[in-house]
Structure 1
Amino acid sequence: MIQRESSVSAHRRPDGPVRTCVGCRKRELAVELLRVVAVDGGNGTSAVIVDTARKLPGRGAWLHPDPQCLDAAIRRRAFVRALRITGSPDATAVIEHFSPAESPSHPRERTGSEEHEHTVKSR
């Protein structure tokens, strides 16, 4: 009888917990994903916020730090299902986490490299 060696990499355990992204549905190590939770917004509404410390109470959902995954999660109403909430939650805080806040008085215009922008601003 011939015995085959089992592939070590096929049965290797990942280095930590594995979670599923609610946007693209791919499994990834939890350290690679953002945790989001629902908080009560008052008047029966909910808001979804990013749990950067990963310690907020309540049910969490996981999301790749990729705008495409965020768009897919919002489009598919994945936050509602994953967080088990009713209604349409306010995801503004998560959207703002993905796009850096810009000053409302004069939004930053990208003119090239950061070095070039610094040179232009210092003149």
Structure 2
Amino acid sequence: MKVRKIPMRMCLGCQQMKPKRELLRIVKTPEGRVEIDPTGKRNGRGAYLCPDPECLKKAAKGHRLEKAFGVPVPEAVLNELEGKLEFQ
């Protein structure tokens, strides 16, 4: 049997490589909006975060989401992400 390659992505918060399925994807759509991508398949530039509130705090404090997308991330998106992480 052939061994399948597991796609790895880096978390913007802790800067560790982890399997793509374990991370949350945030996407900048072609229209320029920054949104959460629950499916992981939406069109646009993606960035990944661990499902850990500390990683979100580190990424927000270091402005890593803004750097990844090249646009300011609205406070509403950060609040939505924080709310989603608290329930996991």
TM-score, normalisation: structure 1: 0.57
Q: Equivalent pairs: percent with the same residue?
A: 32
Q: Is the 8 A contact 1:35 1:61 kept in 2?
A: yes
Q: Which structure would you say has the larger Rg?
A: 1
SS of the equivalent of 1:49 reads strand
- The structure whose residues are more often helix, as a share, is 2
Cα RMSD, aligned residues only: 2.4
Alignment partner, residue 106 of structure 1: none
Higher relative contact order (CA 8 A, sep 6+): 2
One-letter identity of the residue aligned with 2:57: D
Is the aligned partner of 1:37 residue 2:23?
no
SS of the equivalent of 1:57 reads coil
Compute the displacement of 1:48 (Å).
2.6
Question: Quick one: which of 44, 55, 62 aligns to 2:48?
Answer: 62
Alignment partner, residue 80 of structure 2: 96
Aligned residues: 82
- In structure 1, the gaps of 5 or more residues are 1-12, 101-123
- In structure 2, the gaps of 5 or more residues are none
